[in-house]
Each structure stands twice: as C-alpha cells, then as structure tokens.
Amino acid sequence: MRKAGDAAMEQRSRVGEPVIVLEHVAKRFGKLYALKDLSLTINAGETYGFIGPNGSGKTTLIRLLVGLSRPTQGTISILGKRVPSQAVAPAIGYMTQASALYNDLTARENLEFFASIYGLRGEERRRRINEELERVELTDRASSLVAHFSGGMKQRLSLACALVHRPQVILLDEPTVGVDPELRLSFWQYFVQLNREGVTIIVSTHHLDEASRCTRLGLLRSGELLAQGAPTELLERSGKNSMEEAFLFFAHQNMPSGATEQGQVYTNTTSAQDEQEVQS
C-alpha cells in the first residue's frame, strides 16, 4: 500500500518551476526598514543563498518566508499560496539559528516530537525518524540525551528535525554558524542530496566562501537586494575573482552618493535593530 508520505513526494514541483515568488516585499518596524522592495523568484530544486553581513536583513526575510512575520507591503507566495498560510506550513521545514531542541530528551525523542507536530504516526513516523538519523549520521546516538551532544551534533539533529516530515521547501537560517569546516562540508553534501530528492533549499549565510555551492545567490545589504544570479554569473558581471570582491563591487555600485564606504558596506544599524526586534 502506498503511504501518504510517498504520495506527497510524488506531488513535488518539477525542477525549474517557480516555488517561491516575492513581489515588492518590504518590512518596516516603526520608521525603520529591515527589507526594501524585494522581488525575486526561486525555482524548484534550487539551493538559493541569501548572502550578506550581519544586519543585512537575512533573518527578517527567512522569518517572512516561514510565516512568522507579515510583510509591511508586497506579497509572498510559496507553492502557489500566499503566506503566512496554514495550508502551506506542512510543506516547509525550518531550521533556526538558535537550537529548538529539547536537551532533556534523546535524539529520537526530539524527532518523535517534531514528527508528531506534522501528524506522522506509527510505522511511517518510525521509518522517517530512522532515515533522518541515518542521513545526519546520528543513528548510534539516537538514545543519547541531547544535553550531552556537541554543538555540531545538535546542528545535525536540528536539520533532521526540519526534514522529518519531508518538506518540499526547507529554510535554513545561518545553518553553519559556529560549526567546524568539516561539518560545514557535510552540511553542503546533505543539501546536494536534498536537491536531488527535489527539495528546494533557501539558506542564509554570511560565509561568502559557501556562495559557490549555491545554485543562485541573492546579495543583501541594508535590506536591499544588490544583485542575484548564479555564482559564476555574479563573478563575470563584476569582473572579480572572489565572491568577497564581487559583493563589494555590487555594494559600491548601489551605494548612495555621499555615503562612506565602510559605513554602508559593512555596517547597517537600522537592519540590525530591526532583526533584533523580530527575534525578541
């Protein structure tokens, strides 16, 4: 008998079809803008990376996509449905910067909890939990308390919890912050595997060296989309040899006249304050 989870896998969007559409999206807190007039389309099977320094609006944008906040203006659609929407929530996986795990539960118990939220029961739940434990190489620690896990192990388990219900779209907010280079490489290997399974991945990061691993990039600064495209395309358009240099090139191009380079490229008090308010 075909299981509900298997049927859901067959209903995934075809690679290349629009999955996420933002039209003139802005987010304001009082008089402060965290995001300004963002319009873009993300297609099925992509890993789309939002790249930018701290305070550029990445976390604010991810929270809008998850449905934890509403845009001040503009519209966001995921899988053809306007968000925030309860209808689209089961199709989305979300991994936050801060761990959402329960330290007094085992790895398996954490996965059981998150699986139950999405209505998984019985044999299907057990099967998916085992598959995700294997994916993130934690099968041998399934019965260990999370309180005894290293930071890297918690990151891997958090990813498994975000994937246990087989979402079509997964949103990852700085998933590799604070992890060692070996684990960062493992995470990107997981992402390649997920793309092959038809999952669309949106990842925010300030690690510019990770940019080349994304299908396409959106370069953010001060809540504005400076440029977007494939990594090779952005390097070609900028005439630069590294993504760090390319980011600075596009930042300088979009700099208001009279603004100081250091103040505009590297710092953004407005967006940083906005993101702190969103997270509180």
- For the chain, report the end-to-end CA distance as a whole number of angstroms: 46
Dihedral sign computed on CA atoms, order 219, 224, 225, 226 = negative
Check if the beta carbon of residue 148 is closer than 8 Å to that of residue 108: no
**Overall pTM > 0.85:** no
Beta strands in the chain (DSSP E): 18-29, 32-43, 47-51, 73-78, 81-82, 92-95, 169-173, 200-205, 216-221, 224-229
pLDDT confidence of residue 53? 86
pLDDT confidence of residue 13? 65
Enclosing domain of residue 19: 4-279
Q: What is the CATH number of the domain that holds 192?
A: 3.40.50.300
Count Cα neighbours of 138 within 13 Å in the Cβ-side half-sphere: 29
Q: Can you spell out the DSSP letters for 89-132? A: GGGEEEE-SS----TTSBHHHHHHHHHHHTT--HHHHHHHHHHH
Q: How far apart are CA 95 and CA 163, in angstroms?
A: 9
Check if the beta carbon of residue 238 is closer than 8 Å to that of residue 246: yes
Amino acid sitting at position 160? A
Amino acid sitting at position 263? G
Task: Identify the segments of the chain with pLDDT beneath 50.
Answer: 1-10, 257-280
Amino acid sitting at position 10? E
Amino acid sitting at position 220? L
Q: Where do we find the tokens 């925010």?
A: 204
pLDDT, tens digit, 9 for 90 and up, residues 22-77: 999 999 999 899 999 999 999 999 999 999 888 899 999 999 999 999 999 999 99
Check if the beta carbon of residue 168 is closer than 8 Å to that of residue 7: no
pLDDT confidence of residue 210? 84
- Which phi and psi angles does 229 have, rounded to 5°? 155, 180
Domain count, the chain: 1
